[in-house]
Chains A and B, each alone.
Chain A
């Protein structure tokens, strides 16, 4: 799920949830059309979403995708 060997994917979903009226994981899950467990896994950094889901999450918060997800490459890789 998480391709840790090619870098680290971090996200600000939890922070954004609280900045946007403290919406619950369930409410966010319903907005983007996934299960609540998927939001939990995303926040815990245990699941790397598809590009489409990443865009949907950003749209749910009204921000750019890079404001939600940040990628940090491992040493020696781009």
Chain B
């Protein structure tokens, strides 16, 4: 942090996460019609294999090089804790509601008594994205809200 506009490591981490997810989502949206066109499938049929694009999120693993959470000060720890709590809360809400929703659709609309097992990893996958995005946005909002006059 040499100049006045430098970001804190936690802010860099949040932006990194959001950029990775945004890139993944953009590539996904581009790849669905490409897969559909190349393999002569419908968009719906192409939307599932295109999810493999989100394997890109694996590079989130290098986030510890961007921000070492052991070096956070007391205020940053508070921001991180609140953001994590909010992320976990939203993840759980989405996970439970989606699980019940999937079961309801299969049970009441399709009249099937079982839900395909493939939906479970999909729900966990969506839950991970919800958690990470919520946590990152919450970190950025908290930094923004507590920023004052930035003059040196």
Contacts and interface: CB of A to CB of B under 8 A. Distances in A.
Interface of A: 1, 24-26, 33-38, 40-41, 43-47, 49-50, 53
Contacts of A34: 73-75
Given A35-B72, A47-B146, 15 more contacts: A33-B73, A34-B75, A36-B1, A37-B75, A37-B146, A37-B147, A38-B74, A38-B76, A40-B149, A41-B75, A44-B146, A46-B147, A46-B148, A49-B74, A49-B75
A53 B76 CA distance: 13
Q: Is the interface of A mostly helix, strand, loop or mixed?
A: loop
Contacts, number: 58
Q: Taking each of A40, A43, A44, A47, which has the highest tally of chain B beta carbons within 10 Å of its own beta carbon?
A: A40
Interface residues of B, number: 20
B152 interface: yes
A1 B75 CA distance: 9
A45 B73 CA distance: 17
B143 interface: yes
A1 B146 contact: yes
Given A35-B8, A37-B8, A37-B143, A47 B75 contact: yes
A47 B147 CA distance: 10
Q: Taking each of B1, B2, B8, B75, which has the highest tally of chain A beta carbons within 10 Å of its own beta carbon?
A: B75
B96 to A, nearest CB: 30
A73 to B, nearest CB: 23
Contact of A40 (B9, B11, B148): B148
Contact of A43 (B6, B76, B145, B149): B149
A36 B150 CA distance: 10
A36 to B, nearest CB: 6
